[in-house]
Amino acid sequence: MTAVSPEARIITPQPGFQMAALSTAADIAIIGGGAGGGKTYALLIEASRHRFNKDFGAVIFRRTYAMVTNEGGLWDTSKDLYPMVGAKQGDLEWKFPSGARVSFAHMQHEKNMFDWQGTQIPLIVFDELTHFTSKQFWYMLTRNRSMCGVRPYVRCSCNPDPDSWVAELISWWIGEDGFPIPERAGVLRYFTRDGEVMVWGDTPEEVIAKAPHLFQAELAATRPKSLTFIPGSIYENKKLLAVNPEYLAGLMAQDAETKAQLLEGNWKVKVDGLALFDPTRINDLWTNYPVVEAQPRRCITCDAAGFGQDKCVIKVWVGWTVVAITVISKSGSRDIVDAIEPLRRRYNVAQSDTLIDQDGVGGGAVALGGYQGFSGGSPALPDPETDTKEAYKNLKTQCYYRMAGRVNRGEVRIEVTTDSCLIDDVRTTKMKVGGVVVDIREVINQHLKAIKRGKDTAEGKKTINSKEEQKILLGGASPDFADTFSFREWFELRPTYRKGFMKRIN
């Protein structure tokens, strides 16, 4: 058998994401999004592309030295790949038979970028670009030069980070829902920088026309650079799925926001530790034993269906226990009243102790049934014990924070049985979400996890994340189960007769 020299071996990308990443002609390509898409191999294959060019060199950067040498990272993976094509290992460097080199380096501090003054690097690779500062990135472009016959270029990988400068840089490729726009994947756009301002165009000529002062006669050879974003998904990485299917299972087991970010590649989901409801305490909702009052308040909370995936959710409370849940997929004002009235009779709930979000269809049900209307945008109410005003942006925020505190103290219970749950006229604990049948407990769990602490207002008032941000976490659905949960606090806040003195009656 004739021996095949290492130089003759061919390393090929997988079809789909890797092939697209290695085929783009962009000066700067940012690749990735979801975890497990094959970014590591794509970057390593790219860095070895010009291994037959003796003057070629590539530098692969991670932010810290530990990130470079971490087990299973790029350096470790390169040990499996580069010897196959004859490369010899050095100190964080590979040298190919031709003399071409691929080096691995870190840039922990911004000042480290000046260590590269005077260098010429034909290919610069940033692994996890969101870990670097924009200043480091733009400075290193000045080192992206070439005398080896290869046009200088940059390749970067990343996972979604909505607060990073990278999210703004690639915003044209990302939709309002946070997911990459399929028809824009891999499309080249052109840019220049006028100071700190990005000037974009669909063609180099468009950029030049927008900033002609940056392209004077003496700089005639200067042209705008091209940039693209190529999203990747673990589902395109067939080799990983075949060898390590547990990796996908691990991603699937994460909470909603982590899955949306790392599995689905959403750029507007934030994994930030700002959950209002303690995840452990959410799981306790099904097994808690709240203190039973001598005369527990009996009330009903209802969030009427809005649009699309929204559902009408009705909860019956006895004290701090949810004893019944009714879900209606399609409803009008009359449908809501017809669903509430049997519950009022069965659990002896007064009209004035029945609360409905009065926006949209809910307003009609309030008028038709003679119920109370909830207006989440109204000002926060005074603390019922001290009569002092609480610092919340609005009533809805106030109710959410107070309910989260109660849940996190283990004071709330939800009874989920086939007798207590009525879903579209069927006694069941299962419901269909996005075409998949799931347990109602899982739906409640995800809706509560979608509620996050927001940034305080300029006046120092507490906030929660916006409804749009919540819906992104829930795949477009509204957090109806969470909203009806928070409404329960209104009954503790509303002005009434207390402790022997009169307060306003709402």
- The pLDDT of residue 362: 85
pLDDT tens per residue across span 287-317: 998 888 888 999 999 998 755 457 899 999 9
Whole-angstrom Cα distance, residue 271 to residue 42?
26
CATH for the stretch 279-493: 3.30.420.240
Angle at 120 between CA 116 and CA 121, to 5 degrees: 90
Cβ count near 392 (within 10 Å): 21
Angle at 461 between CA 167 and CA 390, to 5 degrees: 150
Q: For residue 381, what pLDDT band results from cuts at 50, 70 and 90?
A: very high
Average pLDDT over residues 450-456: 90
More confident: 127 or 13: 127
- The pLDDT of residue 385: 82
In DSSP terms, 355 is beta-bridged to 301, 372
Q: Which of 181, 269, 249, 247 is nearest to 40 (CA)?
A: 247
List Cα–Cα distances, 26 to 190, 227, 442, 499, in angstroms: 9, 5, 44, 72
- The pLDDT of residue 308: 46
Percent of the chain surpassing pLDDT 90: 50
Q: Half-sphere exposure of 368 toward its Cβ, with a 13 Å CA cutoff?
A: 17
Angle at 254 between CA 302 and CA 78, to 5 degrees: 155
Average pLDDT over residues 409-429: 94
Judge whether 247 and 36 are in contact, CB under 8 Å. yes
Whole-angstrom Cα distance, residue 440 to residue 449?
14
More confident: 386 or 237: 386
Judge whether 58 and 125 are in contact, CB under 8 Å. yes
Cβ count near 467 (within 10 Å): 15
Residue partners of 246: CB distance under 8 A and separation at least 6 = none
The residue type at 305: A
More confident: 423 or 308: 423
Has residue 252 got a pLDDT over 70?
A: no
Whole-angstrom Cα distance, residue 257 to residue 232?
18
In DSSP terms, 413 is beta-bridged to 321
- The pLDDT of residue 503: 41
Average pLDDT over residues 443-453: 91
Average pLDDT over residues 77-105: 91
In the block, residue with structure tokens 């589902």: 235
Q: Taking all residues of the chain, what is their mean pLDDT, rounded to a whole number?
A: 85
Backbone angles phi, psi at 326, to 5 degrees: -120, 135
- The pLDDT of residue 497: 44
Enumerate the domain spans of the chain. 12-248, 279-493
Give the architecture (CATH level 2) of 12-248. Answer: 3-Layer(aba) Sandwich (3.40)
- The pLDDT of residue 203: 94
Q: Which of 113, 116, 91 is nearest to 101 (CA)?
A: 91
Query: Measured on CA atoms in the order 494, 499, 503, 506, is the torsion positive or negative?
Result: positive
pTM value > 0.85: no
> Can 12-248 and 279-493 be said to share one CATH topology?
no
Q: For residue 235, what pLDDT band results from cuts at 50, 70 and 90?
A: low
Has residue 261 got a pLDDT over 70?
A: no
- The pLDDT of residue 115: 92
Average pLDDT over residues 184-190: 94
